Amino acid sequence: MNKQAWIDRAKELGLEGLEITQTRSQSRSLSWFEQKMHTFTTSRVLSTSLRAMADGKIVSTAMEKICDEDMDTVLQSLKDSATSIAATEKDVLVGPMETEEATSTKTWKEADASQIKDVLASLEEKLAKADERVSQVKGLAFESAKVSRELTNSLGTTIADAYQYQLIEGEIAVKVDGEIFDDYLIKVVPDLDAFDQEAFVKELTDKVIARIGAKSCSSRACKVIFRYDAMSTLFSCLEGMFFGSVIARGISPLTGKLGEKVFSDQITIIDDPRNTDALFLQNYDDEGTPTRTKTVVDHGVFDLILHNTKSALKMGAESTGNGFRSGGGATDVSSMNLYIEPGSNSFDSLLKKMDNGVVITNLAGMHAGIDFVSTNFSLQAQGYLVENGEYVRPLTLITVAGNFMDLMNHVEAVGDDLRWETRSTSAPSILFEEAAIGGNE
């Protein structure tokens, strides 16, 4: 693709600007089941996104099949679409901007297929033998990907960067008295030579064994700890409330509340695309704006709306460098490494503080059980029943329900256990005054 020719032609056709982003991704994954390679997947994909400006508005398209001969048809179609879009939808392309780039602290050592097979085979053997109750090693997989991005626009902005990752995933089931309990574990593996197989086996087996005998409980309203994993899941489903695009539409619970106290003063929320502990580090968003670390909620006060160029224009603000793509050609507001700042309480001290209540460790049904506008939620959950500050028994087939805004205003204590692993939105364990637990006992 001759990018300069596209940019020049766009100008001749009367477009006010053109941005071309090409993303090249290569991935490999190898899965293992019953002592042999189960699947092997390899890929090479080059996708091109165009954002064209006409009439003060931006129209986008994403194409996996692009050739210079199609230039006029594609550009004309973008220009035509712009005329149908409302005049209120103004947007701008981003000119070159200086920023001091952060660099990832992770160094990746690529593993070859035979080494991957050896590790997975050995993990399978160790997991099967780890405990006599393990009934099946459901699957093991090693996955790696490399992604590079090149952004060029008619204002002279050029950005080229890349990232990569390698992961190991494992899933096992245990069977006790005819009942099956299962769970999985994913670990980021920068260097397979340094991967601690024993630690992986222990963590996964412990996780599943702790579930043995899980049953429901009676319905109750009680103190609840959302453990870091469940808390991260719930928080990530509702993070859109901080996005300028959602606030401008008037459907965020935080619309009109900038500068107001919206959560408990124990809650501070930060968006940090340059966080080196997280899996992905981004120095620029997908619109070419440099990213930065920023406090979104400061001790309960809603301090900053996350913006891309379009939502910023709508609300009379500056882009915060939060314009990202989630597939397709268009960019929209998105967080990047958003987290609730950890407190000083260890998980054990949270249990002691709670005394009696329920710990939630897993949530399911997020796409059906959360009403984004009211922030009411009712979700399938797993966890533990806690009495006198200690786990009494594992729980499954329970529901946990409440209102997120309400919950975040009734925080008793925030844990110190923030973990990133593969997440791009994270939270530590949090003890809340009350949530509704539903069960069938």
Partner 1 sequence: MLKKKQLEILLCRAMRSEADFAEIFEEETHSESLTQLDDNVENISRSVRAGAGIRLYKGTSSVYGYTDEMEMSVLEEIIDDLREAIGRKDEGKIVELEEFHMAENISPIDVDPFETEDAKKIELLDRSIKAARETDERIFKVSASLSSVHQDVQIANSDGLFVGDVRQRSRMAVSAYAREGANVQSGRCAPGSCRGLDQFVGATAPEESGKEAARVALVLLSAKPAPSGVMPVIIDNGFGGVIFHEACGHLLEATGVAKNQSVMAGKKGTMIASEKVSAYDDGTMPGEWGTQNIDDEGNPQQKRLLIDHGVLTSYMVDRLNARRMGEVSTGSGRRESYKYEPTSRMSNTFIAPGTDKKEDMFKDIKFGLYCKSMGGGSVNPNTGEFNFGVNEGYLIEDGKITDPVIGAMLIGSGAEIIKKIDMVSDNLALSQGMCGSISGSIPTNVGQPAIRVSSITVGGTDNE
The full DSSP string for 7-24 is: HHHHHHTT-SEEEEEEEE
Query: From the CB of 202, what's the least distance to partner 1, in Å?
Result: 22
Maximum C-alpha span of the chain: 74
* Buried/exposed 98-125: b ≥16 CB within 10 Å, e otherwise: eeeebeeebebeebeeeebbebbeebbe
Are 391 and 384 spatial neighbours (Cβ–Cβ below 8 Å)?
yes
Residue 96 interacts with partner 1 (CB under 8 A): yes or no? no
One residue of 273, 323, 383, 402 binding partner 1 per CB under 8 A: 402
Contact between 440 and partner 1 per CB under 8 A: yes
Lookup: tokens for 171: 């899933």
178 makes contact with partner 1 (CB under 8 A): no
Q: Give the helix/strand (H/E) hosting 184.
A: strand 179-188
Among 113, 160, 176, 392, binds partner 1 (CB under 8 A): 113
Q: Pick the closer one to partner 1 by CB: 4 or 83.
A: 83
Burial of 380 (0-12, 13-18, 19+ CB in 10 A): middle
Any contact of residue 365 with partner 1 (CB under 8 A)? yes
Contacting partner 1 (CB under 8 A), which of 4, 35, 41, 76? 41
Axis crossing angle, helix 197-209 with helix 113-130, rounded to the nearest 10? 40
User: Do the Cβ atoms of 289 and 323 come closer than 8 Å?
Assistant: yes
Q: Is 399 in the site for partner 1 (CB under 8 A)?
A: yes
* Interface with partner 1 in residues 20-39 (CB under 8 A): 30, 33, 36-39
* Cβ proximity of 154 and 18 under 8 Å: yes
CB of 255 to partner 1, least distance (A): 9
Contact status: 379 vs partner 1 (CB under 8 A): yes
**Alpha helices, DSSP H only, in 159-308?**
197-209, 228-238, 244-249
Out of 176, 364, 391, 393, point to the residue binding partner 1 (CB under 8 A).
364
Q: Which CB sits closer to partner 1, 301 or 436? A: 436
The reply to whether 187 sits near partner 1 by the rule CB under 8 A is no
Rounded CA gap, 115 and 98, in Å?
42
Out of 369, 383, 394, 428, the only residue in the binding site for partner 1 (CB under 8 A) is: 369
* Minimum distance of partner 1 from residue 273's CB (angstroms): 24
**Which region among 177-185, 192-200, 281-289, 423-431 touches partner 1 (by CB under 8 A)?**
177-185
Which of 377, 384, 404, 420 forms a contact with partner 1 (CB under 8 A)? 377
- Report the site for partner 1 in 315-334 (rule: CB under 8 A): 328-330
Interacting positions 260-289 with partner 1 (CB under 8 A): none
Touching partner 1, residues 207-246 (CB under 8 A): 216, 219-221
- Tell me the angle at which helices 3-12 and 71-84 cross, rounded to the nearest 10 degrees: 50
The residue (of 84 and 103) whose beta carbon lies closer to partner 1 is 84
The interface region with partner 1, picked from 153-161, 234-242, 283-291, 395-403 by CB under 8 A, is 395-403
Reference 272, options 290, 298, 242, 293; nearest CA is 293
Distance in Å, CB of 384 to partner 1, minimum: 17
**Stretch touching partner 1 by CB under 8 A, among 56-64, 94-102, 103-111, 343-351:** 56-64
State whether residue 284 is helix, strand or coil. strand
What DSSP element (H or E) covers 76? Answer: helix 71-84
The alpha helices in 211-346, defined as continuous H runs, are 228-238, 244-249, 309-315
Which CB sits closer to partner 1, 46 or 317?
Answer: 46
